[in-house]
Amino acid sequence: MLRALAVVIEADLKTLLRTGELPLMLLMLGSFQFLFFAIGSVLRKEEQLFFQLTGYGDSVLYQIAGMPILFLSIGMSWAIGQFVIELGRGGKLEQLQTTATDFRVVIAGRFIVMAIMSLLYYLAITVPFIQIRAGPEVLSHFLPALLVLMLGFVPIFLFAVVVSVVMLLARTEALIDLVSSIVYTFTGVAYPITVFPAVVQTLASLLPQTILAETVRNIVLLGVLEPARLIPFIAVALGYGVFSYLLYSKLEYSVRRGGRYEVVTE
């Protein structure tokens, strides 16, 4: 089992690096982060008002600390989605079902690769930006933040699996656009979700990115980690675990019944 996983990870890492798409994707997200940083820095500020709304003093730091959660989530959904779609296109999904290697091992391999990449991204891009703006005193906050972030990869990964399976079942790749827009807009990565009506806020807190963004931001910028925050976080993670497992079983069942999984583009 572990050997299989190692083989899968090695192969996946090689192909991802060789096609160059993944490093380019990270580069692109990095430049987005730079753009938000640059534009945010020049725009007119109302710090008092912002503090009343959020409890944070600097709107630019607020966004730099939150955006990576969005990017990691989009990156994860993209990577898992692409992977599942490619498997479906080449008929490899059906093939994998008949080999000894469980499809779940292959997906887990992809997850580990993406988690490593995400950590590298966070360390190489986000940490320096925060350092530049917040000064050296936040340095000690990064270790606990990274630990929570790693914990957070699990629900974000499960969320990506749910998205991918729904994409396959609905036979449309375009859903990724809708999911990205929702994650961007309603998870409080760039502004507090308190600007929305109460119903929207409740729905938004069901997305794992919402809790993760707020928790990580709390640690990085304020040095505060309230263990109580981790409880809803773990509850949401478990919820996604069950949900993605059920969806996956449905997918497997449909594949066995001879369904074709060619996702339609255009």
Partner 1 sequence: MRSLPSELKAFLWAFSLTNRRSTWMLVGMVSSPVWAIGIGLTFAIHSPSVITEVSQVRALALGAGYFVASSTVLWNVGNFLVQAKDEGTLHSCVLSKGRIPVMMFSRGIVSAAFTGPALAFSYAVVSSLLGFTPSVSNPLGALASFFMLHLALVALSMIVGSIFLRMRHAWIVINALQFLLPATSGMIPPDLFPSDLRPAIALSPFAHVFEVLRRAVVGSPAIPTGDPELTLTSALSVAALIAVGLLTLSITERSLRRRAF
> Applying CB under 8 A, does 194 fall inside the site for partner 1?
no
Among 82, 101, 185, 254, binds partner 1 (CB under 8 A): 185
What is the separation, in whole angstroms, between the first and last Cα of the chain? Answer: 38
Among 20, 57, 91, 128, binds partner 1 (CB under 8 A): 20
> Applying CB under 8 A, does 99 fall inside the site for partner 1?
no
> Applying CB under 8 A, does 208 fall inside the site for partner 1?
no
Token pair, residue 124, equals 């190489």
User: Letter for the amino acid at 228?
Assistant: A
> Applying CB under 8 A, does 172 fall inside the site for partner 1?
yes
d(CA 176, CA 34): 24
The alpha carbon dihedral of 99, 117, 183, 140 has a sign of positive
Contact 92, 86 (CB under 8 A): yes
Helices (H), 90-141: 92-98, 103-121, 127-134
Task: Please give the radius of gyration of the chain, using alpha carbons only, rounded to the nearest integer.
Answer: 19
**Shortest approach of partner 1 to residue 249 CB, angstroms?**
25
* CB closer to partner 1 out of 107 and 183: 183
CA 158 to chain centre: 9
* CB closer to partner 1 out of 24 and 246: 24
> Applying CB under 8 A, does 230 fall inside the site for partner 1?
no
d(CA 235, CA 226): 16
Among 82, 96, 191, 248, binds partner 1 (CB under 8 A): 191
* CB closer to partner 1 out of 96 and 190: 190
d(CA 166, CA 263): 11
d(CA 114, CA 4): 17
Among 49, 120, 123, 132, binds partner 1 (CB under 8 A): 49
CA dihedral 149, 220, 217, 23 (to 10 degrees): -50
* CB closer to partner 1 out of 9 and 176: 176
Under rule CB under 8 A, how many of the chain's residues touch partner 1?
42
Residues of span 58-87 touching partner 1 by CB under 8 A: 59-60, 62-63
Interacting residues with partner 1 (CB under 8 A)? 20-21, 24-25, 27-28, 31-32, 35-36, 39-40, 42-46, 49-50, 53, 59-60, 62-63, 172-175, 177-178, 180-182, 184-186, 190-192, 195, 264, 266
